[in-house]
Amino acid sequence: MIIRHTGHAEFYIETESGYRIVTDPYDGSCGYPMRETEADAVLVSHGHHDHNHVAKINGAPTVIDRAGRFTPCPGISITAVRGFHDDVNGTKRGETLLFLIETENLRLVHLGDLGCMLNDEQKSVLQHPDILMIPVGGFYTIDGKQARETADMLQARTVLPMHYKTKYNADWPITGPEVFLDGSAGRNILEDAEILRVTAGDMECQPDVVLFRQ
**For 46-103, how does the pLDDT look when each residue is reduced to its tens digit (9 = 90+)?**
988 889 999 999 999 999 999 999 999 999 999 999 999 888 888 888 799 999 999 9
Percent residues over pLDDT 90 in the chain:
90
Whether the per-residue pLDDT at 42 is higher than 80: the answer is yes
What is the residue-wise DSSP string for the chain? -EEEEEETTEEEEE-TT--EEEES---GGG-S----EE-SEEE--SSSTTT--GGGEES--EEE-SSEEEEEETTEEEEEEEEESSSSTTTTT-EEEEEEEEETTEEEEE-TT--S---HHHHHHH-S-SEEEEE-B-SSS-BHHHHHHHHHHHT-SEEEEES---GGGTTSS---SHHHHHHTTTS-EEEEES-EE--GGGGGGS-SEEEE--
Query: 137-187, pLDDT tens digit by residue?
Result: 999 999 999 999 999 999 999 999 999 999 999 999 999 999 999 999 999
Domains of the chain: 2-212 (3.60.15.10)
Rounded to two decimals, what is the model's pTM?
Answer: 0.96
